[in-house]
Amino acid sequence: MIRLEKKWVLVTGASRGIGLRIAKALAPMGCRLILHARKLENTRQLVTELTTAGHEVYNVAAEFNSVSEVNALIETVREITSDHLDVLYNNAAIMTDYQPVFKPTVEEYKTSFMINTIVPAKLCDAFIPGMLARNWGRVINVSSGINNEPGLMAYSCSKAALDRYVRDMIPTLKGSNVLMNLLDPGWLRTDMGGANADNDPDSVVPGALVPVLIEKEAGSGELYHALQYVGENLADFL
Ligand SMILES: NC(=O)c1ccc[n+]([C@@H]2O[C@H](COP(=O)([O-])OP(=O)(O)OC[C@H]3O[C@@H](n4cnc5c(N)ncnc54)[C@H](OP(=O)(O)O)[C@@H]3O)[C@@H](O)[C@H]2O)c1
């Protein structure tokens, strides 16, 4: 199992839901955490909680529907880490409201693709070259198991495009110790998943940590299902 002491980790969308669980699970592993949300105040309580517990934690803010805010975020992460990000957890996303079939608007497609596909891809583009130069990195893009939901077409298409980004980047990473994989968190009762979802958001851990802690031999391009690891000892898998 990979050790994370002092590694620099960025978790996007860390203020609530799945990202918050991932951040809380990573902090005790000794990494240096950078928590993202749209506003600094959205992660302030979590930063206080984790720093009080003795962890090294920073927060950054960016609205992902804004190119200038995303570019500023990339620069801020470079400054904080001295341009040495080790783990990129692309978790933040939006889901448009259910729409009648054939009715999603262009704006809904554009916003979904910007926040759920283009920004994760641009964060990969910004930080993977450095990982490759140092021959170490872990990138996890949070996908979705969404299937046969035409009322959520803008969301599901944006996630499918993210899956494709990962698949088509694999040759670039081949042979290196920079691994990029996908996580399907399962249907969880977060703000996005809603109150009727089958699973407690806490059940995303420990599975969400697997693609961070895997060794080089595990490779890239896999889809990890977080719920497969509920109640399991990670050491049995890593
Ligand atoms: N929950 C599920 O059942 C489920 C199922 C499959 C996949 N997923 C995926 O899991 C990931 C996390 O989902 P979740 O359920 O934890 O969602 P969530 O509870 O709605 O949290 C979303 C996170 O993303 C951030 N965010 C929202 N809009 C943003 C924007 N415009 N720009 C930048 N950041 C923004 C939020 O920050 P603020 O606090 O600043 O708003 C928040 O931290 C997503 O990629 C989602 O697609 C979830």
Q: What is the pLDDT of residues 91-142, one digit of tens each?
A: 999 999 999 999 999 999 999 999 999 999 999 999 999 999 999 999 999 9
The pLDDT of residue 1 is: 80
Q: What angle do CA 206, 197, 96 make, to 5 degrees?
A: 105
pLDDT tens digit sequence for 178-236: 999 999 999 999 999 999 999 999 999 999 999 999 999 999 999 999 999 999 988 77
CA of 133 to the centre of ligand 1 (A): 30
CA angle 237, 184, 209 (to 5 degrees): 40
Q: How far is the CA of 140 from the centre of ligand 1 (A)?
A: 14
CA nearest neighbour of 127 among 13, 136, 109: 136
Atom of ligand 1 nearest to the CA of 197: 3
Q: How far apart are the CA of 49 and the centre of ligand 1, in A?
A: 21
Mean pLDDT over the full length of the chain: 97
- Cα(187) to ligand 1 centroid in Å equals 13
Distance CA 88, CA 14 (A): 12
C-alpha to C-alpha distance for 176 and 131, rounded to whole angstroms: 9
Site to probe by mutation for ligand 1, drawn from 155, 192, 202 as the one with most ligand atoms within 8 Å of Cβ, is 192
pTM greater than 0.85: yes
User: Exposed, middle or buried by CB within 10 Å (0-12, 13-18, 19+), for 157?
Assistant: middle
pLDDT tens per residue across span 52-87: 999 999 999 999 999 999 999 999 999 999 999 999
- What's the first-to-final CA gap in the chain, in angstroms? 5
**190 within ligand 1 shell (Cβ under 6 A):** yes
Spatial neighbors of 75 by CB under 8 A, at least 6 apart, are: none
